[in-house]
Amino acid sequence: MNRPARILSAMLAGAALVAAALVSPPAANANPGPDGPTARARVAADKLMTSYEPNKAWFPSSWWNSAVALQTIGDYMQRTGDRRYLSQLDNTFEKDKGVFPAGYLSGDPLLGNFTSRAIDDSEWWGLTWIQAYDLTKNRKYLDMAVKIAEYVEGYWDPSSCGGGVWWNGERTYKNAVTNGLWIRLTAELHNRMPHDKRWLGRAQEGWNWFTASGMINSAGLVNDGLKDDCTSNGDTVWSYNQGLAIGAGLELWRATHDAKILPTVRRLADAAIAPGGLVTDGALTEHCDAPGGTCDDNGKQFKGIFMRYWMDLADTTHDRRYTDFVAQQAATVWDNDRDASDRLGERWSGAEPNVFDWRTQASALSALIAAVPTVPPTRSLSATTDPALPVVMPATGNATHVKVQVNVEATGAAPLQVVVRPTAPSGWTVTPARTTITLRPHGNAVPVHSSVQLDVTIPAGTADGLHSVTATATSGPLSFGTRSDILIAHTADFDTGTAAETPWLYDADGSQSNGVQNRFADGHSYFVYRFPFPADTTTAAATLTIDNEFVVQVSGDGQTWTTVATETNPYHDGENKAARTFDLSPYLGADKAGYVRVSDSFPDDGWGGRVYHVTATYN
């Protein structure tokens, strides 16, 4: 990551020479060829930002995770030169800097200036606003980071365990994440504030305390925190703790060029990728990614934090082992952990069951960002499809037509002639077979775009299952492939929170899924399923296994809704769970599509409708 360099004083010159031996020459710039890293990152970043909610100016419904997601978008913009999402950063800054009650944006009351009793949450926001300052040079962002650091400084306590920042306002726990964040935050402030001594002193004090605390174990891995007797609790080695320790050391090294810091950073990094570390079969793997495990909403984002600081490590040292690891993780995510709609999942290896939401998107995006060269290519080309996951419930004996749009984006300094070529399964027809479009980009800040409309003919008798229609956009050495996975189905029968749910999920809005058989909509969020019944359908019904405080509405066009069920009791524990069937026949649209929408009957208490399983039938 490009960070402002600090001019070294003469007394540090000798230390700098020693440290230089630990830093290799930079690698050559990457080839911007097929599916280039900038284009991949752009596609994934655009997908992430579809989950940004502008009214409350966050990603529903997680406070600290929103800070990290916005910082990730900041990393993307800083790395690629894209500047389309600066307004969202500022929107969050202006709307969310005030005082808010518990439950509005966080489970804790927000005290103003992005602070709360959760000290680590406050620090995440501090780093986000430094990132915004780096992008814009607007002093208000740096000033906010200073206010946050001043708040956190009050929780540094040498009377317990000789120092360290408390994790919470109740002062019950000292841990790795809070102190790794503290070192990085204070060192970043110092590196952006000429003549600063205060924050440098805090960063050095924090690093000295942390490295002596015992949280770094004998294998070089970071355990979660300290017990009451100030010894390591030996608790889970989470990737974000390892990454933050690496990032904290790197930023402090930039501030001081202390020759003793980089060897510690390298020990932390080498331990992470060594046998017994954080890698399984070549993929960065969280403890909760193990077979049979499930990462909660916090754990979903940990690997991305690790990769943010690993990117910094690779940029700083240019060590081939570290840059190769970046390339390996980016390729793993892109090849194994991505669906046709460019969603990125929790398990980077692609192992099932996988979970997809904006947190997993932000996390895996960091791996793609890390692969973008520090000097990005002057040109890039990307493509996506819409719809990417359409469903066809075909009428008996008839061919079916599906419209698919290929969206093409480019950056650069000169016009690009782009050829779009689709391919389809044997026996299918796609027209047009070839289209040429001209894109006229004007730099990297705002990609230009165009689209091609495809008509896909699906022959009668096509077997149920997923069938891919692919499209390749090519301009000279630039090439990018995309696909639409068309699901042919005569029935709908799926668990929520699985890949089988995705093609039917017409509008996820702000709903959430915490794993298999779990999709819910709290507050004013909702989710919609669409069932495109065959043209000769006469009757249809949907059965939802559902509980808690639900409202169920149905529609024939996805616009005009009729309420068919409302839970009037404030259930919070699922005691009203039941399979409920809704007749869709009176509500089917002219195209025989039926829509089912689930929302929250008590939007102020956070226990909205939760769906486990869905089936749809027709005659």
With bands split at pLDDT 50, 70 and 90, how would you rate the model's confidence at 12?
A: very low
Query: pLDDT (tens digit, 9 = 90+) per residue, 77-113?
Result: 999 999 999 999 999 999 999 999 998 999 999 999 9
Residue 329, SS3 per DSSP:
helix
Does 378 or 543 have the greater pLDDT score? 543
Q: Which amino acid is at 439?
A: L
Are 606 and 523 a contacting pair, CB within 8 Å?
yes
What pLDDT sits at residue 34?
63
What pLDDT sits at residue 431?
98
Arithmetic mean of pLDDT, 217-237: 97
What pLDDT sits at residue 26?
40
Q: Is the per-residue pLDDT at 3 higher than 70?
A: no
What pLDDT sits at residue 619?
92
Arithmetic mean of pLDDT, 291-318: 95
Arithmetic mean of pLDDT, 355-380: 94
* Lookup: tokens for 317: 């040292």
* Lookup: tokens for 17: 């020479």
Are 183 and 120 a contacting pair, CB within 8 Å?
no
What pLDDT sits at residue 170?
98
What pLDDT sits at residue 514?
78
* pLDDT, mean over the chain: 93
For 29-38, 296-305, 428-437, which range has the lowest pLDDT when averaged over its residues? Answer: 29-38
Q: Is the per-residue pLDDT at 513 higher than 90?
A: no
Q: Is the per-residue pLDDT at 614 higher than 80?
A: yes
With bands split at pLDDT 50, 70 and 90, how would you rate the model's confidence at 32?
A: very low
Query: pLDDT (tens digit, 9 = 90+) per residue, 131-141?
Result: 999 999 999 99
Q: Are strands 380-386 and 400-412 parallel, antiparallel or unpaired?
A: antiparallel
Q: Is the per-residue pLDDT at 559 higher than 50?
A: yes
| Other residues' Cβ atoms within 10 Å of the Cβ of residue 587 | 21
Burial of 368 (0-12, 13-18, 19+ CB in 10 A): buried
Q: CA-to-CA distance for 507 and 527, rounded, in angstroms?
A: 6
Arithmetic mean of pLDDT, 10-36: 42
Query: pLDDT (tens digit, 9 = 90+) per residue, 583-592?
Result: 999 999 999 9
Query: pLDDT (tens digit, 9 = 90+) per residue, 60-74?
Result: 878 999 999 999 999
Arithmetic mean of pLDDT, 285-313: 95
What pLDDT sits at residue 22?
42
Q: CA-to-CA distance for 550 and 587, rounded, in angstroms?
A: 20
What is the C-alpha radius of gyration for the chain, rounded to an integer number of angstroms? 26
Q: Is the per-residue pLDDT at 494 higher than 50?
A: yes
Q: How far is CA 354 from CA 41, 500, 519, in A?
A: 21, 11, 14
End-to-end Cα spacing for the chain: 58
What pLDDT sits at residue 20?
38
Strand partners, 345: 356
Query: pLDDT (tens digit, 9 = 90+) per residue, 463-483?
Result: 999 999 999 999 999 999 999
Percent of the chain with pLDDT over 70: 95
Alpha-helix runs per DSSP H in 117-161: 119-136, 139-153
Q: What is the DSSP letter of 106?
A: S
Q: Is the per-residue pLDDT at 13 higher than 50?
A: no
Close Cβ partners of 121 (under 8 Å, ≥ 6 residues apart): 63, 64, 67, 106, 108
Long-range contact list for 329-337, CB < 8 A, 24+ apart? 329/283, 329/284, 329/367, 329/370, 329/371, 330/37, 330/40, 330/367, 330/368, 330/370, 330/371, 332/282, 332/283, 332/284, 332/367, 333/364, 333/367, 333/368, 334/35, 334/40, 334/368, 336/283, 337/364
Q: Is the per-residue pLDDT at 10 higher than 80?
A: no
For 5-19, 168-182, 397-411, 499-513, which range has the lowest pLDDT when averaged over its residues? Answer: 5-19
With bands split at pLDDT 50, 70 and 90, how would you rate the model's confidence at 460?
A: very high
pTM for the full predicted model: 0.91
Query: pLDDT (tens digit, 9 = 90+) per residue, 114-160?
Result: 999 999 999 999 999 999 999 999 999 999 999 999 999 999 999 99
Residue 536, SS3 per DSSP:
coil
Cα dihedral sign, 568-572-576-581: positive
Q: CA-to-CA distance for 481 and 382, rounded, in angstroms?
A: 8
Arithmetic mean of pLDDT, 520-526: 91
Q: Is the per-residue pLDDT at 377 higher than 70?
A: yes
Q: Which of 74, 39, 55, 15 is nearest to 308 (CA)?
A: 74
Q: CA-to-CA distance for 196 and 145, rounded, in angstroms?
A: 14
HSE of 456 in the Cβ direction (CA atoms, 13 Å)?
27
What pLDDT sits at residue 21?
37
Arithmetic mean of pLDDT, 184-195: 98
